[in-house]
Amino acid sequence: MMRNLEEVQVVVLMGGLGTRLKEYTKDCPKSLVRVGSKPFFDYELELLMQWGFRRFLFLIGYQADMIEEYYGDGSDRNISIQYCMDGEKLLGTGGAVRRALPYLDEDFLLIYGDSFMDINYEESVYRYYQGKENGNRALMTVLKNNDSFDKSNVIVKDGKIVLYDKHNTVPEMEYIDYGVCMYERSLFENYPEDTAFDIATIQTALSREGKLTAHVVTKRFYEIGSPESLKEFTEYTKYRFTEAHPAIFLDRDGVINEIVYNEDTELMDSAMNVSQFHMFPYVPKAIEAMKEKGYYVFVVTNQPGAAKGKTTLLNLYDINTLLCETTNVDDTFMCIHYPQMQPLTKEPYLIKTCDCRKPKPGLLKRAAEKYHIDLSASFMVGDSYTDVLCGQAMGVKTVLLGGMRCDVCNRLSGNKPDYILGDLSEVIQII
Ligand SMILES: [Mg+2]
């Protein structure tokens, strides 16, 4: 069941001493270290607010008064912020959460106040509650790492973490824990108050019991644990939030992957699961070439299959993960809604009149809000007239693929695309 992110409590660990950053944290806590024009945690908070989160609990300790003074009760941002103070004793991550027990919801999302984690939070929450229906008690986000950031410490199988152990790693471990988790409050109830422990203890135990849901994410994280990583994040924010860059928005079905024949309906349809997802062979290279020219590449796709009951949202998210693992796209934006109930609809919360179903430009708007996009130099590429209309509504240049399909061209009497090309590999010639 999908939860409204507005209702989900976000707990933020902010008590850290920031010892490795001491020249910056002498007079201020780590979360408030300035990056460009604002404190570090503002970047993560704004991201979470864009996803729709409104309820926050900050676990504070070191220079706590500065955090409370800066964020207040959240009302000036139209959110609610509660605080829980660490005691004298250092409690570790687990102990700090245990101490906050009276403030915790039955289920909550937990993040670190010194990390910038740009993931699909809606997917995390959805996967957590799906897992809970099957008896799982927590969720961990993991990144395919292959020892590149740090030692890999996770084995993932069939949507579950089957082993997480940061102290005893084995060669089968390909993933690394990413830093966004969800928990049942009850996991913390059996620990005595004011006992120090690492939250990894809970996660390792759950992974061995088979009760830890996995959410595989595909983008790296940023943190400000050291002067080098602070500098790296500062450069990143400059590129992403200060400078404007153009984007290429790609439709998915028919542009990136083949349309498939659905035996049940005897119609050509979108890929409904990973095994139906067949990417055109030229796609990874075409995307790479666009990126080399300085464009962001985003996928913007209508996927009403789950709303119509033809597949599940989990299957749609799995396709997205595969797409992000096999190409270098910067981000994906998916409309999962459909305006009317269908005979097979099993997830009725996906039925709504939204502002993101193309030809409405909601997905492009969301991308432009998340990144600083130069729309006048951007393109929308699709194989359907709704893609062209969507691009035009947003004021970007439009490219229609599948130039032989004159029926589509005719329907566009007054709204011709700027370019008509054969397939995605040709787009590089006109940008
Ligand atoms: Mg299409």
Return d(Cα 105, Cα 150) in angstroms, integer: 32
CA of 256 to the centre of ligand 1 (A): 9
CA distance linking residue 149 with residue 212, whole number of Å: 23
Q: What is the pLDDT of residues 144-169, one digit of tens each?
A: 886 677 889 999 999 999 999 999 99
Question: How does DSSP classify residue 240?
Answer: I
Q: How far does residue 426's CA lie from ligand 1's centre (Å)?
A: 17
Distance 327 CA to ligand 1 centre (A): 18
Centre of ligand 1 from the C-alpha of residue 357, in Å? 13
Rounded distance from Cα 118 to ligand 1 centre (Å):
26
Q: Does the global pTM surpass 0.85?
A: yes
pLDDT, tens digit (0-9, with 9 covering 90-100), for 220-236:
999 998 899 999 999 99
What are the tokens at 177? 């824990």
What value does the mean pLDDT of the chain take?
A: 93
Domains of the chain, earliest start first: 5-237 (3.90.550.10), 244-429 (3.40.50.1000)
pLDDT at 88: 76
For residue 297 the two structure tokens come to 């590449």
CA of 370 to the centre of ligand 1 (A): 23
Q: What is the mean pLDDT of each run of 10 residues along the chain (431 residues)?
A: 89 81 79 95 97 97 92 98 88 93 98 96 97 97 82 93 93 92 97 92 96 96 91 97 97 96 83 96 98 98 96 96 96 97 93 96 96 97 94 96 68 80 96 93
Ligand 1 center from residue 313 Cα (angstroms): 19
pLDDT at 1: 63
Q: For 124-257, where are the E strands, in sequence order?
A: 138-144, 154-157, 160-164, 175-184, 212-217, 222-223, 247-250
Per DSSP, the three-state class of 376 is helix
Whole-number Å distance between alpha carbons of 132 and 138: 8
Cα–Cα dist 345/111, whole Å: 34
Residue 412 gets which letter from DSSP? Answer: T
Expressed in angstroms and rounded, the spacing between residue 47 Cα and the centre of ligand 1 is: 28
Q: How far is the CA of 144 from the centre of ligand 1 (A)?
A: 29
Identify the H or E element spanning 369. Answer: helix 362-370
The reported pLDDT for the residue numbered 31 is 94
- CA 124 to ligand 1 center in whole angstroms: 26
